Amino acid sequence: MISALLLSLAIILPAAKVAGHLASRLKQPPVLGELLAGALIGNLPLIGFSALDFLKTDPGVELLAQLGVVLLLFRVGLPTTIRDMRKVGLSAVLTALLGTTGSFLFGWGMAVWLLPSARSYTHLFIGASLMATSVGITARVLTELGQTRTTEARIVLGAAIVDDVLGLVALASMTALVGAVESGGRVSLGAASAVVLKAGGFLVGSLVLGFYLTPHLFTVASRLQASGVLLAVGLAFCFLFAWLAGLFGLAPLVGAFAAGLVLEDLHFRDFVHRGERMLDELVEPIGSFLVPVFFVVMGARTDVRVLASPGAIGLAAALTLAAIVGKQLCALGPIGPAIDRLSIGIGMVPRGEVQLIFAGVGASTAIAGGPLLDQTMFSAIVVVVMVTTVITPPALMWSLSRRYKRSSKARATPPK
């Protein structure tokens, strides 16, 4: 087993880095290159080369991919703190709520319409998979244009925080519901509400517990003089919360994200004072090793032959449309005059890590003897990620430049 795993990593890691580099040269996020590299590797059998087909099913690669996605969610949570969530403001909260609701309803409606024979849980899962925004793409465009301090940027970045929380609560709720059905239980409205409350309750409870626990934990840990203590304690904290989430019947990813939200720079001050780096800097090299494995594996499992069928192309196009149109409800969220609502709506369009996590969970979750998401549905969701990732940067740059030209013209026009 170890020999196969070593060969797998020798193939996956260089492919991910080269593809990520090429994507960056084309002003696209590296994750897009990693997905495409995986799709290329996974579909080599179409040209008669099947020697790398084992990468899709190797248990060692799968284990590393799952560990990578846990670290990914931990890293997503680390830059954000509870204080940040309290500062996002009403406009950001309303923007997130409207965008996630619109995306869910449009995605669910498209799934019901185009997949009438699928289970109702599959329809709900597809709708929920479209909820979360990948703000990293938008943040990069805003940075390149020098727009990070604008009102629109603050609303988009704040709404993305709420988006991630809502998306992961939805993922936790859906996996718990499917688990209840698979175990033979009947899910009523009351039972479904209880699952949602349990998911939200775990997230809130873990944040409260961690808020009081972490300062004491890291103060005690700082007394240890061994090297790498901060990284070891931080990862142990992440894995503990991920395990607790699984114990509650939720996705471990929810616990990893909650652990990242709880930890703040203030907790590491004793380590920093003695010259050590911050936790996010220490986790970064490990994430750079493991996270690309997850994205390459997701890409490798995308069967382009499935997308050749009219039904699959139609589903991918419909879900992409739902993902874009649903997020435009965000424009109704901001409160105040002279806000560029179109740019906010476009900025919330890109999907990324969380949607791929949804796809992976859905493809690996069994219900009634089959996967919750079949190959066609899985591939369609991956296409949504790719398309929204590619179209957002030019669309956002056009929208922001349109506003800039309008304001410049207004300044140049003398008053009558």
Residues, the chain, total? 416
Cβ atoms of 398 and 145 within 8 Å: the answer is no
Q: Is residue 238 scored above 80 in pLDDT?
A: yes
Res. 326 pLDDT band, cuts 50 70 90: very high
Q: Right CATH number for 74-402 from 1.20.1530.20, 2.60.120.10, 1.10.1040.10, 3.30.420.40? A: 1.20.1530.20
Q: How many helices (H) and strands (E) does the chain have?
A: 18, 2
Beta bridge partners of 62: none
Q: Which two tokens stand for residue 38?
A: 């995986």
d(CA 308, CA 388): 20
Query: Which residue do the tokens 């996002």 mark?
Result: 88
Query: What are the residue ranges spanned by the domains of the chain?
Result: 74-402
Beta bridge partners of 366: 371
Q: Which residue has the higher pLDDT, 340 or 406?
A: 340
d(CA 63, CA 57): 10
What is residue 239's predicted lDDT score, i.e. its pLDDT? 92
Instruction: Give the SS3 label for residue 368.
Output: coil
User: CA distances (Å), 309 to each of 299, 313, 380, in order?
Assistant: 19, 6, 11
Q: Burial letters for 365-382: b for 16+ Cβ neighbours within 10 Å, e otherwise?
A: bebeeeebbbbbbbbbbb
Res. 313 pLDDT band, cuts 50 70 90: confident
Res. 405 pLDDT band, cuts 50 70 90: low
pTM of the full structure: 0.72
Interval 366-388 mean pLDDT: 84
CA-closest candidate to residue 298, choices 382, 355, 376, 375: 382
What is residue 411's predicted lDDT score, i.e. its pLDDT? 52
The neighbour count for residue 244, using CB atoms within 10 Å, is: 19
Interval 173-200 mean pLDDT: 66
Choose the weakest-confidence range: 7-21, 155-169, 174-188, 262-276. 174-188
What is residue 137's predicted lDDT score, i.e. its pLDDT? 62
CA-closest candidate to residue 172, choices 73, 81, 293: 73
Helices (H), 145-278: 151-182, 189-221, 229-247, 252-262, 269-273
The neighbour count for residue 63, using CB atoms within 10 Å, is: 12
Res. 186 pLDDT band, cuts 50 70 90: low
What is residue 17's predicted lDDT score, i.e. its pLDDT? 92
Cβ atoms of 151 and 376 within 8 Å: the answer is no
Q: Which residues contact 237 (CB under 8 A, 6 or more apart)?
A: 210, 214, 217, 259, 262, 263
Question: Max CA-CA distance within the chain?
Answer: 79
pLDDT tens by residue, 32-67? 888 889 889 888 887 778 778 788 778 888 889 889
User: CA distances (Å), 317 to each of 17, 116, 148, in order?
Assistant: 29, 17, 31
User: CA distances (Å), 325 to each of 98, 101, 129, 231, 342, in order?
Assistant: 12, 11, 15, 42, 12
